Structure 1
Amino acid sequence: MNTSTIETSAATESGRNTGAAALKVRFLGTLVFLAVLVVVFTVTTDRFLSLDNTRSILFTSAILMIAATGQSLVVLTGNLDLSVGSIMGVTAYVVYDLAGSTTELQPVVILMALVLGAVMGSINGFLVAVLEIPSIVATLGTLSIYRGFVSFYADATEVTSGQLPQYMRDLAMAQWFGLSAYVWIALGVVLLVGAGLKNLPFGRSIYAYGSNPDAAAYFGLRSTRIIIGAYIGAGMIAAVAGVLLGARVGNINSLVGNGYELEVLAAVVIGGISIWGGSGSVYGAALGAIVLATINNGLVLLRVEEFYRLIIQGSAIVAAVAVDAVVRHRVLRATERRTAVEVAS
């Protein structure tokens, strides 16, 4: 091997290492941020670092973790879904209302939720992939449409806790191995989707398309199929989150799930998934959900007013996007250097 070949190989490997290291910054940064939060809240309030409070944080974050996992599928394609909270609300109200009035449907509430979520997700995907409406505009529209539908459907009435299937009410209160059943369900969803993204052809195609849509098309990946599939997956997962939220709330009105879209997006971004698509993981999104739950829990214990919590949450989103922009710039520069060296060789 001559000197030129050795230099080329070293430069190429250096570019790869730089890009990989830069991509890890977001996840590691989230871990460090969470550790700092734990230290700060432990010092400032003696009620934070306790087993019961830790369980409370995990329980609070569970539904957000599930919804953020679904949102991750869409964001990895370089798009957004602002209708998550509305999908959760529609699903929770409609499914439990139908199950409450028709007892034969009670054993299949999860299946009903998945179907309803798939329908709403496919509508989002059609608007973005086929009609080519920018995702932020399309899903902002469906956010209002879905919320308006459930308000019309509910007609100012509630689904009471007595109408919910008993097994769903039991699930909301259940403890498995010392933690809420919701925590274990959230963990299962995260691991399942994470494994699918890594090992299934469709999961890998989501990353490929999000990384470089033009190159993905060149290699025969169908953007329409990928985007619609990601939105359907996100809709189904959001629907499951909505059913679980409804069981936890008990008395369900047309506003259930309202405001979740900001928290879900915050969890995804804070967890290190690039808003430009193609990088990050659902594990980071789950960690982002825990970070948000930790912030809210600590600030409540400190009796901080609501508007301060909103300011801190918004600041965390801005900071995460800023870090994402810096990391993306470094990755692009590393890739360009690697390409230049390979071409020169």
Structure 2
Amino acid sequence: MNDEEDLAAEGYAWGFARQERELPEEEYRAHMRLLDEVDEEELEGLDLKDADDYVLWAAAQAFEELERHEDAIAVLKRIAASTSPHPALDYPDILFRLEELLKDRGDYDEALPLLHRVEQIDSNLRERCDERRAEILILRGEPAEGLRLFEKTARAFPDDPWVPLRAAWALLTSGSYGEIPRLIDWCEKALKKVKHEEEARAAASEIDRLRRESEARRKRRARLDPEGTGPPAGLEAVKEDILAALDAEEARLTGNPPRTQDARARAEERLAALHARASKGWDDAVEEQKESLIAEFDELRWDVVGVAERFGIELPGVDD
């Protein structure tokens, strides 16, 4: 395999064939073992105290694969603070990954300086950094300013449907639905310019998922409106009511992430109540032998857990 075919994966400046060829065998094999072979128990027992960036990047990916996001963040922060860069790694990619994880849990003030660091390393990534800044503006409750920055950024990437997709998902998560139809149109126009078939399919699938989710959330909000039609009857009504409450709670926590002990306790109480309601709905669906609703309430319980975990909240009495 030549270097043109040996494409580097996310976080790497070198492809794996070049890593295997140019790095010491023991170093490369230790890295690959962390990626492919180490289980959760062994990962927890690893001594990473003196590990270099190359090993830490493998460990961070392993933690993420296990959805151990707090551990991944801790390891990525060590790489971000490193003064001994490894030649096989792409540091802007790694900083973007840390920014993404911090943003997802609402640590916007920690995430933003990482984008400045990326620009310092590679000024060609300025527009990509602005795209992520725009997303954070929307998530923290400044949708108009965020959209203005997205539109400015999009001029640099007119053929990239993922730019308006990022904007639309940020709006959806923060509970702002009005601009989403326009953004979907924008996505579809950009999609027509994508020439790579696999990339086009992935973007089209994401656009469809966005359209379905935004329509579902819009309908749930409309049913709860005093002048709306109201939810459907029975357990379906219970499910839709819980989903609407979860939409609102996610938007609340996205715009104002819980940072104090008191705020976290209140958020935990609200999410635990939603989880209890979803569990009660599951029990009732089992009693009524409604198979589709059994599955939907089970998924809903885990949706509540997912929102809690995003903000580092552990719900009591919930087993993995």
The structure whose residues are more often helix, as a share, is 1
TM tier, smaller: under 0.3
Q: TM-score, normalised on structure 1?
A: 0.23
Q: TM-score, normalised on structure 2?
A: 0.24
Q: Which structure would you say has the larger RCO, counting Cα contacts within 8 Å and 6 or more residues apart?
A: 1
